[in-house]
Chains A and B, each alone.
Chain A
Amino acid sequence: MQPGLSFEQAPPISVPYRFFLTAPLFGIAAGLFLLWQGPAAIASRWSPLSLALTHLLAVGFMLMAMCGAMLQVLPVAAGANIWRPLLVTRLTHAGLTLGTLLLVAGFLAEWPLLFKLAVAFLTVSLLFFALAVLLALLRTPAVGPTIVSLRIAVVGLFVTVILGATLATAFGWHLSLPLTHLTHVHAAWGLGGWSLLLVAGVGYFVVPMFQLTPSYPAWLSRSYAWALFCLLLAWSLAWLPDPRPQALQTLLACLAALLPLAFAVVTLRLQGRRRRKMVEPTLLFWRLGAGSLIAAMAVLLLQQLLPAVDAYVGTPFVIGTLLIVGVFMPLISGMLYKIMPFLNWLHLQKTGKPGLVVPNIRDMIPEARMFMQFRLHLAALVLLLAAVALPVLVYPAGLALAASCLWLERNLVTGTRNFIRFGEELKAAVARERQPERPAAA
């Protein structure tokens, strides 16, 4: 294929920032939700309360930030230009925001109309987003494991959305479907087939880039996405036959769990060999994410192999917390602290002119405040995990989660305000230089 060779610059800064500034608000809502509902919110994986909580974080926080980052990063870093980026942005952002609120309200009120509306908003916006992103990824001339990983991840997003829409349709129209099985498969694709593959695709270039580590070994980066995708697919199909081939399914699940485990171990080892020795917030967020991923996969393996762990009611909550609060939220926070200062700088230096010094990326968000959010988030994770054994801890856990997301929001608002302030200062400086020299006042 003759590569499509237009190479547009970054989309307008408002494209990603609306997603970045919205995502932490859903995180704050999740923290407050825990304070409001208390131990009932985490009593069972299948309660409407815990499904509401999961979707506040998985869709409202995670997917929101991931979509915004993809719309930004694809054209800039991968040469993948998105068709009508502003239209896709508006539709995705509005659909995700309203759809998440309707879905959460649907779980809480158990009112079918809310599910019907949520299906409409989330399905239309997310399928449109996934299609636009997939087309851009298929048309880019770029090569490499990141692009392959991202393409497969978007297919994983398609599967997740279609399964999610099927489930919500079943709630909305009272269809009799094997809801438990479908929920397992939906969650596996959302967290594994989409989110973990996105993390891998992004990790292949940002881990070496920010810390100057060696590259990921080719045996991992070439096979990881395909292998995880195929294992998930086989595992999903193994739900269909009656009787179900349980031993085969357990084997597939264990093999699938070993892959992210290997990715996390390799990531930590690469970071151990980094050339840049400074400890900065994004490094800490990545280490927390990789450590939690190892823990999550270890628990998943135990769940598959030991009947007692599988039977324990808290196991799904531990795995979900480790993945969502331990892996994805920290990685997203760490990435936002790199993306936003850099985008600020990139757009600002186009405002200025030669000779004018543009504030650098460390001037955008104070580093001390990023470290503070890291500590709050770590506290939230530890308390949430402890709340499985001691449910009353759900209250301080909720408080810490809300505080972490509030801090993240505050830091991102600071970044956005600094962008506006520095932009105005640069424009004023350019205007001053253009004015003819006036004679000095007598």
Chain B
Amino acid sequence: MAKLGETMEKHHKKCDEDFAAAEEAAHKGDWDACAKAYTKFRDEVLAHFSVEEDILFPPLEERSGITSGGPPQMMREEHEQMRPLLQQMDNALEQKNAGNFTATGETLLVMMQQHNMKEENILYPMIDHHLGDDRDITARAEAGLNG
């Protein structure tokens, strides 16, 4: 079984791939391809948020003793900053507005990438340290990402 942090990091890359495909399609005006790639991207991102918030963060906070104001709380707050951007992209897709779609997309991309970097360099090593041996959590996280 792969390490948890590695699994989560790979999932970031998967989200990136679908984001790029959606953006490229919007740029070309191919709205069918865009809708397909974007929907996949959005569902992946939301599943990723859920796995972290529901499966990983609560036991991490419990076992590490980190409570309010720690990295998991910061990551939750950043998830909340990204959700409205996804909604704005939903709207832009519905209106087939390529300008709004790619501009909001770029905003989300930068937000998401700096968020991912913090997770990959700080949070995931912590997760591997505290939860790495827990096969149940690992299996539930993998199921959540692939669900």
Within 8 Å by CB of B20, from A76, A205, A276, A342, lies A276
Whether, in the assembled complex, A246 has its beta carbon less than 8 Å from a beta carbon of chain B, the answer is: no
> Shortest Cβ distance from B125 into chain A, in angstroms?
6
Which of A112-120, A181-189, A354-362, A369-377 is found at the contact surface with chain B? A354-362
Within 8 Å by CB of A3, from B117, B120, B126, lies B126
**B70 adjacent to A5 (CB under 8 Å):** yes
19 contacts between A and B (CB under 8 A): A3-B122, A5-B66, A5-B70, A77-B118, A78-B118, A79-B118, A79-B121, A143-B125, A147-B121, A205-B113, A212-B20, A275-B16, A276-B23, A345-B107, A349-B84, A357-B88, A360-B106, A360-B107, A361-B107
Q: Lowest 8 A-B CB distances belong to which pairs? A: A275-B20, A362-B103, A209-B113, A142-B121, A360-B107, A7-B74, A360-B103, A144-B121
> Shortest Cβ distance from B31 into chain A, in angstroms?
18
> Shortest Cβ distance from A277 into chain B, in angstroms?
6
Give the interface of A toward B (CB within 8 A): 3, 5-7, 9, 76-79, 140-144, 146-147, 205, 209-210, 212, 275-278, 338, 342, 345-346, 349, 354, 357, 360-363
Specify which chain A residues have a CB less than 8 angstroms from the CB of B70 in the assembled complex.
5-7
Kindly state the separation between the CA atoms of A77 and B110 in the bound complex, as whole angstroms: 11
Specify which chain B residues have a CB less than 8 angstroms from the CB of A210 in the assembled complex.
109-110, 113
Kindly state the separation between the CA atoms of A362 and B101 in the bound complex, as whole angstroms: 11
Kindly state the separation between the CA atoms of A360 and B105 in the bound complex, as whole angstroms: 9
**A78 adjacent to B107 (CB under 8 Å):** no
Kindly state the separation between the CA atoms of A349 and B88 in the bound complex, as whole angstroms: 14
**A277 adjacent to B117 (CB under 8 Å):** no
Chain A interface helix/strand/loop/mixed: loop
**A79 adjacent to B20 (CB under 8 Å):** no
Chain B interface helix/strand/loop/mixed: helix
Docked complex: B1-58 residues within 8 A CB-CB of A: 16-17, 19-20, 23-24, 27
**B121 adjacent to A143 (CB under 8 Å):** yes
Kindly state the separation between the CA atoms of A362 and B24 in the bound complex, as whole angstroms: 17
**B126 adjacent to A6 (CB under 8 Å):** no
Specify which chain A residues have a CB less than 8 angstroms from the CB of B102 in the assembled complex.
278
> Shortest Cβ distance from B113 into chain A, in angstroms?
4
Closest chain B residue, CB of each to CB of A350: B81
Specify which chain A residues have a CB less than 8 angstroms from the CB of B16 in the assembled complex.
212, 275
For B, the interface residue count at a CB cutoff of 8 angstroms equals 33
Docked complex: B95-142 residues within 8 A CB-CB of A: 102-104, 106-107, 109-111, 113-114, 117-118, 120-122, 125-126
Whether, in the assembled complex, B144 has its beta carbon less than 8 Å from a beta carbon of chain A, the answer is: no
Kindly state the separation between the CA atoms of A363 and B88 in the bound complex, as whole angstroms: 15
Within 8 Å by CB of B71, from A5, A147, A362, lies A5
Within 8 Å by CB of B103, from A79, A342, A361, lies A361
Kindly state the separation between the CA atoms of A209 and B111 in the bound complex, as whole angstroms: 10
Contact status of A338 and B110, CB under 8 A, knowing A212-B19, A354-B84: yes
Specify which chain B residues have a CB less than 8 angstroms from the CB of A354 in the assembled complex.
84
**B114 adjacent to A76 (CB under 8 Å):** yes
Kindly state the separation between the CA atoms of A210 and B114 in the bound complex, as whole angstroms: 10
Kindly state the separation between the CA atoms of A338 and B110 in the bound complex, as whole angstroms: 9
Specify which chain B residues have a CB less than 8 angstroms from the CB of A3 in the assembled complex.
122, 126
Whether, in the assembled complex, B147 has its beta carbon less than 8 Å from a beta carbon of chain A, the answer is: no
**A77 adjacent to B20 (CB under 8 Å):** no
Closest chain B residue, CB of each to CB of A78: B121
**A278 adjacent to B74 (CB under 8 Å):** no
Within 8 Å by CB of B27, from A278, A361, A363, lies A278
**A361 adjacent to B106 (CB under 8 Å):** yes
Closest chain A residue, CB of each to CB of B105: A360
> Shortest Cβ distance from B115 into chain A, in angstroms?
10
> Shortest Cβ distance from B131 into chain A, in angstroms?
16
Specify which chain A residues have a CB less than 8 angstroms from the CB of B106 in the assembled complex.
360-362
> Shortest Cβ distance from A69 into chain B, in angstroms?
13
Specify which chain B residues have a CB less than 8 angstroms from the CB of A140 in the assembled complex.
122
Specify which chain B residues have a CB less than 8 angstroms from the CB of A6 in the assembled complex.
69-70
> Shortest Cβ distance from B53 into chain A, in angstroms?
16
Specify which chain A residues have a CB less than 8 angstroms from the CB of B120 in the assembled complex.
144
Kindly state the separation between the CA atoms of A345 and B84 in the bound complex, as whole angstroms: 13
**A349 adjacent to B122 (CB under 8 Å):** no
> Shortest Cβ distance from A334 into chain B, in angstroms?
14
Kindly state the separation between the CA atoms of A209 and B110 in the bound complex, as whole angstroms: 7
**B24 adjacent to A277 (CB under 8 Å):** yes
> Shortest Cβ distance from A61 into chain B, in angstroms?
24
**A7 adjacent to B20 (CB under 8 Å):** no
Specify which chain A residues have a CB less than 8 angstroms from the CB of B66 in the assembled complex.
5
**B103 adjacent to A363 (CB under 8 Å):** yes
Specify which chain A residues have a CB less than 8 angstroms from the CB of B73 in the assembled complex.
7
Within 8 Å by CB of B117, from A209, A275, A363, lies A209
